[in-house]
Structure 1
Amino acid sequence: MSKYLATGIASAGVSAAVANFFWGKSSTETNAQQANGANTASKNLPTTITGGGTLVSPGGVNPSEFFKYGFPGPVHDLKTHQEYISCYDRQKRNPYYVVEHITPESLKNSGNVDRKKSVFKEDEQIPLAFRAQLRDYFRSGYDRGHQAPAANAKFSQEAMNETFLLTNISPQVGDGFNRDYWAHLEYFCRQQVANFPSVRLVTGPLYLPKKCADGKWRVEYEMIGNPPNIAVPTHFFKLVVGEKPNGDLSVAAFVLPNGVIDNKTSLTEFEVPVEALERSSGLTFLQNVPQGKKKQLCKEVKCEITVREFDNATKTLPPKKDVLLLPPPK
């Protein structure tokens, strides 16, 4: 890990005091998450049953009886689309994560796919009480940032349209991030189909701690909407997995702050161990793959962004600062 990365991570809220939490070895134990959390949880409730089939416990206590009124959650809204699978966080009204699969063929434009035909839409499959709405982003000061980018879904207009559902969207800083460095990272991922016949991506928001003036560590993030109900992530992650014909995987994990990033900043400054991403996100990755089959992507390919100017407008970003590479959330 580079000194620059260590400095950036520290400013984002990861110190030596919590290093074991973020940088320790990941647990080998994992629980498979099911889309229908209610049914799964109710089947695994701890109970004691007598020979007559009656639930008993000391003192006649039976807390599991509450669930006959309905299981409170959490409910993970897992939905499969043409280009990606989304898992939605009802509390923060952001994706938990999205999973993508890109190939040289999938990135080709079918000839009649046009981003201008796509519009942002609320996901009506999410109950209204937990749904991110278009009005929540109005004058928020943040872009509606794709987690699975539209440019990865050029193989059909429907696939591209699905990337504009708000269950695939998070509030992102616009100039300097969503329209710049984050877009360059997305392009880097697409470039990997030249190195691997199949590339899989996992992308999502993070809410990392920062050290406050009183010396204590807290997780703080802005809320947007009226009433405020959509969380503004402090950071975003992207896991890149290149699949080789022999079954080996080339893996890299990146964590970027949701703020202005100078295009001159090396992409490797944002690379973190997969174990660190697991601990900060609460997710587990590639746990079914033998360790010997996982290689470091950035040792096999050059991990760097290609700066492309969008909309023919040259953007001038502020110079890089020593300790604010990973700035704290607003």
Structure 2
Amino acid sequence: MPSAVIVHAAVFTAGALLGGGIAAAVSNKNKSASALPSAKPASSPPVIGLDASGKASMSTQLTVPPHSVLKYGNPGPIADTLIRKAYVAGYDRRLRHPAWTAEHLTRASLSRPDGEPSGDRSNSKFVEDGDIPSTFRARLQDYFRSGYDRGHMVPAADAKMSQEAMDETFLLSNMAPQVGDGFNRHYWAYLEDWCRRLTGSFLDVYVFTVPLYLPKQDPDGKWRVTHEVIGSPPNVSVPTHFAKVVLTTKPSSPSSPDILELSTGAFVLPNAVIRDDTPLESFVVPVEAVERAAGLSLFSDEVKAGSKHICRATKCEVIVRRFDDAQKKGRKAIAAPK
């Protein structure tokens, strides 16, 4: 596993490697709707923000302005914006996995619905996403005997509000190839759990998950990006790293509950085995480093300047829960596609 120094160097050296983007802007709940980001030209990326009532909202104006040179079609890049019950995602057609996923977690969103059954992952199954054009779709056979897990970008545990919401997390458009033992089933799962536990201390928790392709310095001194592609023929790219970026809100004081205190933080983990005792803070990087590496605009400059670091607002420490050890004997390998 690369050291924290190598991870930091790789993040700062990486350029805009992923197409598409998302601009997230958060305003205090006491601000008027006019203070929210105004609608941008149709060619702009989607914008996630808080409306006047404090609820998350998203613009979906993604058409391209008419131009004579595009008379017979727009070659792209085209990011498929997927709006689901529990999340929003931007799907990268070239890499065959999400360029980013975005979630809004609260205590209520993670709780069992009143009088209704919650989602049960044993009733969900991995399926290809029919909303993605067939040419650009990740397929079940791509992961078969690949050596990688179908890694959820939005965890199933974040979508217990209904079976439909949980089923949507099992779409392959929400997956990226991840190392299984030591990462997806362990440290990455601990980080996902940490994100959920933030709802115990904060009013709102926004979570962005971003697959990354970071350069590595070769013996000749040059920096190169190399990654595996799984499938036969090769179809789905394997990220070298994954980022979790969080933004939390809470009232700044009991006397001013409508004025929100913001905290932000970013963590970049290698797609590799990570020891359970590795401090979470060893993966901290600036939000700007993730934005630069991924080619995304996650937060406005105003939000970044006006927020404190998440590790100052709460304890950045994962809880090791080897809950899967008892299930290993019964764990099934990725089944052959039917």
Query: What TM bracket, shorter-length normalisation?
Result: 0.7 to 0.9
Aligned mates of 1:286, 1:102 — CA distance in 2? 17
Question: How far has the Cα of 1:235 moved from its partner?
Answer: 0.2
CA shift, 1:32, in A, is 3.1
The structure richer in strand per residue is: 2
CA distance in 1, matches of 2:182, 2:123: 26
- In the aligned structure 1, how far is the partner of 2:184 from the partner of 2:153? 10
Q: State how far apart, in whole Å, the 1-side matches of 2:14 and 2:270 are.
A: 18
Larger radius of gyration: 1
User: Corresponding residue for 1:221?
Assistant: 227
Q: Identify the match of residue 264 of structure 1 among 274, 277, 283.
A: 277
Match of 2:312 in 1: 299
Report if aligned partners of 1:147, 1:169 keep a CA contact under 8 Å in 2.
yes
Deviations 1:135-164 (A, max 9, x none): 110000000000000000111111000000
Q: Please state whether the residue corresponding to 2:324 is helix, strand or coil.
A: helix
Kindly report structure 1 stretches of 4+ aligned residues shifted beyond 6 Å: 19-22
1:211 and 2:214 aligned: no
Going from structure 1 to structure 2, the CA distance change for 1:292 and 1:130 (only over 3 Å counts) comes to closer
2: CA distance, partners of 1:118 / 1:290: 37
Q: Which residue of 2 aligns with 1:71?
A: 74
For structure 2, the residue ranges without an aligned partner over 5 or more in a row are 18-39, 47-59, 252-258, 329-338
Question: Could you state the TM-score of these two structures normalised by the residue count of structure 1?
Answer: 0.79
The Cα of 1:21 is off from its aligned counterpart by 9.5
Aligned partners of 1:162, 1:278: CA distance in 2, in Å? 26
1:254 aligns with 2:279: no
Map 1:279-318 onto structure 2 (within 5 A): 279-287=292-300, 289-313=302-326
Alignment check: 8 A CA contact 1:241 1:252 kept = yes
Report the count of equivalent residues: 279
Matches within 5 A, 1:1-330: 5-10=4-9, 13=10, 18=13, 32-34=44-46, 39-40=63-64, 42-43=65-66, 45=67, 64-65=68-69, 67-110=70-113, 111-245=117-251, 246-287=259-300, 289-313=302-326
The letter for the 2-side match of 1:105 is A
What amino acid is aligned across from residue 199 of structure 2 in structure 1? V
Q: For 2:241 and 2:184, how far apart are their aligned partners in 1?
A: 12
Aligned residues: CA RMSD: 2.4
Partners in 2 of 1:152 and 1:239 — Cα distance? Answer: 16
Kindly state the Cα deviation for residue 5 of structure 1 after the two structures are TM-superposed: 2.7
Q: Deviations over 1:249-297 (max 9, x none)?
A: 1111010000000010000000100111111111012116445531111
Assess if the C-alpha contact under 8 Å between 1:14 and 1:210 holds in 2. Answer: no
Q: Which residue of 2 aligns with 1:55?
A: none
Higher-helix-fraction structure: 1
Q: Per-residue deviation at 1:300?
A: 1.4
For residue 184 of structure 1, what is the amino acid of its counterpart? Y
- Aligned partner letter, 2:4: L
From the superposition, tell whether residues 123 and 183 of structure 1 become closer, same or farther in structure 2 (CA, over 3 Å): same
| 8 Å CA contact retained: 1:206, 1:237 | yes
Per-residue Cα deviation, 1:214-239 (whole angstroms, up to 9, x for no partner):
22111000000111011000000011
**Which amino acid counterpart does residue 100 of structure 2 have in structure 1?**
Y
Q: Distance in 1 between matches of 2:71 and 2:300?
A: 35
Letter in 1 for 2:249: E
